[in-house]
Amino acid sequence: MKLDLIAIAPSDFDVDVALAYATDANLTGRPIYRNGECWLHREAADKLAAAIALARPLGLRLRLFDALRPVEAQWALWNARPDPEFLADPRRGSPHSRGIAVDLTLLRGGRELDMGTPFDAFTPLSHHGRTDISPEAQSNRLLLMGLMTAAGWDFYRNEWWHYQLFEPRRYPLVSDADLPRPMM
């Protein structure tokens, strides 16, 4: 299958790539990605570049926790914690497994802004619009949402860190074997 994938590298995109699933600091407790390269569909890469450009004049950078997630990685996460509130059932397919979703946060001066919960905190406190987190965290979440939606991204209401392209099912699912260099 011919995929229109772009490597998201700090040398080409002014972004901090910190793929959580390439480390053991994730919900499985072990690395899922052997190769921590970051990939996105070309359309998502263009929207990421737009978000980076919007953040820059504010003195902000983006930190990516995840982008393209091969179908096999989605199964690894699902098998560790089959929670449809926070993970797409791999039988339906995740926007991540289509290369059109990012999990991210904002950095100022190299430090993550307070978002009220860590990335991948599978708790209702991770939902957008929470008023029972600090006003600073509420403001930071709204700032991230404003930057991402202004750049053309859709958001997932249960995860402050997750943004995806609209109409995800029009993009094909990507397996590890489909990648230029396998991740797993």
- Angle at which helix 135-150 crosses helix 42-55, to 10 degrees, equals 130
CB 8 within 8 A of CB 38: yes
* C-alpha span between 94 and 172 (Å, rounded): 10
From the list 74, 69, 80, the residue with the least C-alpha distance to 19 is: 69
Is residue 159 annotated as a catalytic residue, yes or no?
yes
CB 153 within 8 A of CB 62: no
Q: What is the CA radius of gyration of the chain?
A: 15
User: What pLDDT shows up at residue 2?
Assistant: 64
Query: Residue ranges per domain, the chain?
Result: 5-178
pTM to 2 decimals?
0.96
pLDDT band at 59 (very low <50, low <70, confident <90, very high): very high
* The CATH number, out of the four listed (3.30.1380.10, 3.40.50.2300, 3.30.70.20, 3.40.50.300), of the domain defined by the range 5-178: 3.30.1380.10
pLDDT band at 3 (very low <50, low <70, confident <90, very high): confident
pLDDT in tens, 95-134: 999 999 999 999 999 999 999 999 999 999 999 999 999 9
Which of the residues 37, 72, 136, 159 is marked catalytic?
159
User: What pLDDT shows up at residue 166?
Assistant: 98
Higher local confidence (pLDDT), 1 or 15: 15
pLDDT in tens, 40-52: 999 999 999 999 9
